[in-house]
Amino acid sequence: MCHERMISLCNFIDQKIDDGTFVPLVTAVNHFMRQTGKFLVLFVYFISAFLAFTSFFIIIPYEQLYKPIWFLIILGVFGLYFLFNIQYHYYKARTIPPVANPGEEGDVFCEKCNYWKSDRAHHCSVCEKCVLGMDHHCIWINQCVGSHNHRHFFLFVANLTLAAGTIIIAGYPSFYDHLFSDTSQTTYCTTILNNAPLQDIICDYDGFAKTSVVFCYLLSFILLIMVGGLTLWNVYLISIGCTYIDYLKLTGSKKKLSARRRLNKGLKSNWKNFLGLRRNRTFFKCVIMPTALPPVRYESLDNRPDVFDVV
């Protein structure tokens, strides 16, 4: 009985989808996601600015009570490095459009675009186009993560994860003292600190330093868990040569597993292709330094073109 009702419900939903009943709802949801994405882009810039301000002008100066100056200088240098990389790769990820691939006659036909799409292309209803090498639509960058901007997206989340981890490890004394400020002997505003240029201004606002430190630390912890998890998931997908869309598509049948093996060139080649380490490009230039690369096709192991190999 339940099985028959489930089949009836599925048939009803399929009928409503086919006759266009849900089109206005889907259109409204996609419009809402596009508009929300614009707000979230500004929110990301605001949060990153807050974390940078709190780290450089409150936490690092306060940590001189617990750490030597040379170590704080190193923290400052790494902090500036992470900040620049995060901003650079986030800007690139949200402004560089992923390659829209119309495909060729004989490929799978996309009824929404009314054109052919290649094997690695997937239609995004929010962006309203077929995206080559699509991983997912990210509301935080307000566009799809796919060919050409996927590398920047990964480096953005990876640097953000490392920055959050650094704040958590290096800033724990500051967090502890300010969280338990009622029993702590020192806080940012009750201690005369050297090399704290904004201490007088910050401490003019009652409770601002305490709130900023505690919120910065807790936010960093949340980012480490959520963005760190996303980073590890991307590490796994890149290691097997897949995007998230590929992973969802290529599971189950022997035919799909064969396609999965075709995508997977091996751990080393997968990472070299994803990071663009071709044509004498070095790890330092492509990963350590913030560098933009033109979209190029993967070079398959046997030097023959492969439509599955796309950066």
Among 19, 21, 63, CA closest to 195? 63
| Gap between the Cα atoms of 98 and 311, Å rounded | 10
Cβ atoms 63, 173 nearer than 8 A: yes
| Averaged pLDDT, groups of 10, the chain, 311 residues long | 52 49 68 84 94 94 93 94 96 88 74 79 85 89 90 96 95 92 85 86 89 95 96 94 84 56 79 83 86 59 40 46
- Secondary structure of residue 238 in the 3-state scheme: helix
Distances (CA, A) of 287 to 118, 144, 218, 275: 29, 21, 28, 7
Nearest to 94 by CA among 38, 159, 28: 38
Of residues 58, 61, 72, the one with CA closest to residue 217: 58
C-beta neighbour count of 137 within 10 angstroms: 21
Three-class SS of residue 170? helix
Give Cα 26 to chain centroid, integer Å.
25
Query: Are the beta carbons of 259 and 250 closer than 8 angstroms?
Result: yes
| DSSP assignment string, 112-142 | TTTEEE-TTEEEETTTTEEEET--EEETTTT
Whose structure tokens read 């009803």? 12
How much is the pLDDT for 101? 67
**Phi, psi values for residue 110, rounded to 5°:** -95, 110
138 is catalytic: yes
DSSP single-letter state for residue 298? -
Angle ∠(29,229,270) on CA atoms, nearest 5: 95
pLDDT reported for residue 143? 92
- Cα 146 to Cα 60: distance, rounded to the nearest angstrom: 37
pTM of the full structure: 0.85
Nearest of 73, 119, 110, 62 to residue 243 by alpha carbon: 119
Report the alpha-carbon distance of residue 102 to residue 82 in Å, rounded: 37
Query: Which of 124, 130, 138, 286 is flagged as catalytic?
Result: 138
Interatomic CA distance for residues 84 and 90, integer angstroms: 10
Cα angle 218-215-229, degrees, rounded to a multiple of 5: 30
